Structure 1
Amino acid sequence: MSIRRLRTLAGLAATALALTACGGSDGDGGGAGGGAEDPYTIGVSFYSNVIPLYVEMQEGMEDKAEELGAELIFAYADNNAENQANQINSFVTQGVDIILASPVDAVALAPAYREARSAGIPIISVANKLQDESLEDAYIGPNLVDQAARTMERVAEGMGGSGQLLQVTGPPQIAFVQAQMEGWESVLADYPDIQVVDTVAVSDLSTAGALDATASALAANPGVTGIIASNDDVALGAIQAVEAAGIAPEDIFIAGWDGSDAALEAIREGTYDVTLGQRPYTWGQIAVQTAVDWLDGERPEEHRVSTPEVFIDQENVDTLTEEEIR
């Protein structure tokens, strides 16, 4: 029978962190680290617990941990590098077997990563990564620059190769935002008739924040015919701003990332053109499997452990199966 319990990580000087522990026990579940009586403990520090990508990723992690007989302890940085450093340091103090982290800052988290590795605790990046990848034992996720380039190609084609483009991003210190910008720029170099009229950053990657930022950008640039967004929450805020500005869906092409349920509904409604689905539930399962394999002495062949993806648009949104999306 699986064991799920709530833990509280106390004693941090700066902040109190809500942590959730879950795991599996019992003999037939895979017996990680010596079985049910001595399960592997995996500390997970997420960027956020409200962004749908991470919510679904956590579900996948929990199910895989139960299957393998591992225990998970979750902590949420809430887009605060100091919080996350404290979380990682606390995991070290607790003596977890391995850490999975989605760093909120590609540079600021380096000392915490060093602390974990100096204590002999492997630390693997998930979804986001460090600028200095030598400090992380592995990275689980896509080639972000390549994904960004392919998504921008969809935008360029949707805009007919010309027009005014608005980029709505997340915080610039996050590795995936940096990679997105690199990928976008590489493609736009081949489309001289597409003009980037503004790039606005949404500090919390929220729908509300994106609504405000996009509304201001559209007021200053009423001729925008394309929007590319860092994730679905941001894209959904941009869509609300587009609607409020009285721009018809057929007059603007909007693309984003993640493949959340709300994004799929917007695609069905015709207000959202395409999202690059990251299949977060499966991603979470891969992360836990990789962590357990690592502790069992099985290392990935390369630094980056690939994760699946799927472009979702109005042509396939109703034909893809749940298994192909989650």
Structure 2
Amino acid sequence: MEPLNATTRSERYTMKLRQWTIAAVLGIVALSCGDQQEAPAEKKLKIAGIVFQEDQFFRLIQFGMQDAADKAGVELLLANSANKPDKEIQLVNTYIARGVDAIVISPLSAKASATALQRAKDAGIVVVTYNTTVEGDIPAAYIESDQGDLGRQTGLVARRYIEEQLGGQAKIATLAFKSQLAEQSDARRNGFVEVVGQLPGVEFVAEQDAWLPEMALKKAGDILTAHPEIDIIWSANEGGTVGSVMAVKNAGREGKVVVFGTDASQQLVEFMLAEDGILQALTTQTPFELGTKAMELAIAALKGQEVAAKVVMDGVLVARQDPDGVRAFGTRLADLIALGNQ
């Protein structure tokens, strides 16, 4: 028989061995848990979104950007360059210094805006352009509406109006924004002219630059005074369309002069449904979706996903001849604005 003290020593040794084993296992588990707790959290992406004008078109773009950013858990910094090249450069430089991950921008100039955006790209910042873009391979992606089609779609409705209501004869004035964004402005006007100009009885008698309501109100008013024979005014953007309608009203030319335009707002929806018959049709971009898609492209590029170099979105025709469609469009517009204002 083994002595009692020997058995005691053996049991004590076995117990200590078990304790050491348990302690070692617990230590490994604790170390593993500690590693998990100390692992850094995934960095929240920070993206700058820059517009260049304060109107409903760009507000809806901002709402779309914000909606996409919120859904993706991205911090969005919004700014407006106010049509000032110097301010645009300042904003880009500020965002470079703040170390944003991406800049989503509608640049003011294909050439002049490129230098600052190249600096951003060189700093490792993803650049996505929308609505307008810059020369070279600076943007990871560019998204725009089909600018020529915005004019062509409205032109088709205007041509039918001329054929059915004016006997194929019409004198037309156009308002554009060539001095602001020449390429985009020309694409819209050329799209309209190439469709309406197919009618031999059509004559374009005046062309002016006016993209803000107050500018368009004055210039369209001056055109109506200088050319009382005008039947139609076409405008290349929202502000110009608003001003043109107001100019016709102020001149008391309801029933004699009609307006066709581009882009949309709640005010233009009201004009389209008004009994005065001035605003006949417009082809609008989809700015909320444009802002959403631009933000999604930036996020995808930051995640290393392949993105298309250029994305083109179709316009939407809104015409007086389809009042139910106008109302449905107005409801959708109001819903998007309410969403953005939440």
Does structure 2 retain, via aligned residues, the 8 Å contact 1:232–1:275?
no
Task: Name 2:288's counterpart in structure 1.
Answer: 281
Task: Name 2:88's counterpart in structure 1.
Answer: 84
Letter in 2 for 1:140: I
Once the 2 structures are TM-superposed, how far is the Cα of residue 252 of structure 1 from its aligned partner? 2.7
Task: Name 1:226's counterpart in structure 2.
Answer: 232
Task: Name 1:32's counterpart in structure 2.
Answer: none
| 1:230-267 Cα deviation digits (max 9, x unpaired) | 2122111111111122212x433312222211110100
After TM superposition, list the pairs within 5 Å mapping 1:1-326 onto structure 2.
38-48=43-53, 50-130=54-134, 132=135, 134-160=137-163, 161-174=168-181, 175-202=183-210, 205-248=211-254, 250-269=255-274, 270-301=277-308, 303-314=309-320, 315=322, 316-320=325-329, 322-323=331-332, 326=336
CA distance in 2 between counterparts of 1:106 and 1:112 reads: 12
Task: Name 1:18's counterpart in structure 2.
Answer: none
Q: Once structures 1 and 2 are overlaid, which stretch shifts more, 180-189 or 74-83?
A: 180-189
Does structure 1 retain, via aligned residues, the 8 Å contact 2:281–2:317?
yes
| 1:205-254 Cα deviation digits (max 9, x unpaired) | 22111101111111111111111112122111111111122212x43331
CA distance in 1 between counterparts of 2:229 and 2:41 reads: 61
Q: Cα distance 1:271–1:293, how it changes in 2: closer, same or farther (>3 A)?
A: same
Task: Name 1:29's counterpart in structure 2.
Answer: none
CA distance in 2 between counterparts of 1:247 and 1:284 reads: 38
Give the SS at the match of 2:203. strand
Q: Cα distance 1:148–1:300, how it changes in 2: closer, same or farther (>3 A)?
A: farther
Give the SS at the match of 1:136. coil
Give the SS at the match of 2:94. helix
- The size of the alignment, in residue pairs, is 287
Letter in 1 for 2:187: A
Once the 2 structures are TM-superposed, how far is the Cα of residue 146 of structure 1 from its aligned partner? 2.5
Does structure 2 retain, via aligned residues, the 8 Å contact 1:103–1:128?
yes
CA distance in 1 between counterparts of 2:118 and 2:105 reads: 13
Task: Name 1:19's counterpart in structure 2.
Answer: none
Larger relative contact order, structure 1 or 2 (CA cutoff 8 Å, min sep 6): 2
Runs of 4+ that moved beyond 6 A: none
CA distance in 2 between counterparts of 1:152 and 1:133 reads: 32
Q: Cα distance 1:40–1:263, how it changes in 2: closer, same or farther (>3 A)?
A: same
Structure 2 residue runs of 5 or longer lacking an equivalent are 1-39, 337-342
Q: Once structures 1 and 2 are overlaid, which stretch shifts more, 38-47 or 172-181?
A: 172-181
Q: Determine which structure has the larger helix proportion and give its number.
A: 2
CA distance in 1 between counterparts of 2:89 and 2:187 reads: 22
Does structure 2 retain, via aligned residues, the 8 Å contact 1:239–1:271?
yes
CA distance in 1 between counterparts of 2:227 and 2:138 reads: 42
CA distance in 2 between counterparts of 1:323 and 1:304 reads: 27
Once the 2 structures are TM-superposed, how far is the Cα of residue 295 of structure 1 from its aligned partner? 0.9
Once the 2 structures are TM-superposed, how far is the Cα of residue 87 of structure 1 from its aligned partner? 1.4
Instruction: Report which of the two structures shows the higher radius of gyration computed on alpha carbons.
Output: 2
| 1:54-80 Cα deviation digits (max 9, x unpaired) | 111111211221111001111211111
Once the 2 structures are TM-superposed, how far is the Cα of residue 88 of structure 1 from its aligned partner? 1.6
CA distance in 1 between counterparts of 2:102 and 2:253 reads: 49
Q: Cα distance 1:227–1:183, how it changes in 2: closer, same or farther (>3 A)?
A: same
CA distance in 1 between counterparts of 2:136 and 2:176 reads: 23
Q: Cα distance 1:103–1:134, how it changes in 2: closer, same or farther (>3 A)?
A: same
Once the 2 structures are TM-superposed, how far is the Cα of residue 320 of structure 1 from its aligned partner? 4.3
Q: Cα distance 1:191–1:134, how it changes in 2: closer, same or farther (>3 A)?
A: farther
Does structure 2 retain, via aligned residues, the 8 Å contact 1:159–1:225?
no
Give the SS at the match of 2:278. coil
CA distance in 2 between counterparts of 1:118 and 1:162 reads: 56
Does structure 1 retain, via aligned residues, the 8 Å contact 2:127–2:298?
no
Q: Cα distance 1:318–1:47, how it changes in 2: closer, same or farther (>3 A)?
A: same
Letter in 2 for 1:88: V
